[in-house]
Amino acid sequence: MRLLVIITACLSAMAYAATANNVKSYILTLDDNQPALAGKIQDLKSFVQQVGGKITHEYSLIKGFSLQLPADDSSDILQKIESFGEKLSCKLNLEQDQEVHTFKGPEPFEASAE
């Protein structure tokens, strides 16, 4: 019985890893000073879903959302999203999501216990 549970867990983990590698994550934000901003964001979210993307998080502090796109078609879909943004007459900021570090360079200072 335990062996079956372990095998099932391993297969699930491998399936998740295979799925996770086939997508790319992006962050899409809009400049605050645009007219009818809420409607444009809703239109963009609907369009992203129509072209095969998935909305993963909606931001409240900044105007935008994060999304995942299939890795094979991501460049084509990104061009479609940018073209759709131009049709809406809005300034899009679209970048691939990546890990961010607060300290770049020398290690942070540590006080000695003297």
Tell me the pLDDT tens digit for each residue of 92-103: 888 999 888 777
Phi, psi of 48 (to 5 degrees): -55, -45
Count Cα neighbours of 75 within 13 Å in the Cβ-side half-sphere: 1
What's 63's DSSP letter? T
Q: What is the spatial distance between Cα 65 and Cα 41, in angstroms, rounded to a whole number?
A: 9
Give tens-digit pLDDT for 10-30.
555 555 554 556 899 999 998
Domain layout of the chain by residue ranges: 22-96
Q: Per residue in 53-110, pLDDT tens?
A: 999 999 988 888 999 999 888 888 899 888 888 888 888 888 999 888 777 666 666 6
| Pick among 3.30.70.260, 3.50.50.60, 3.30.300.30, 3.40.50.10140: CATH of 22-96 | 3.30.70.260
Give the whole-number percent of the chain exceeding pLDDT 90. Answer: 22
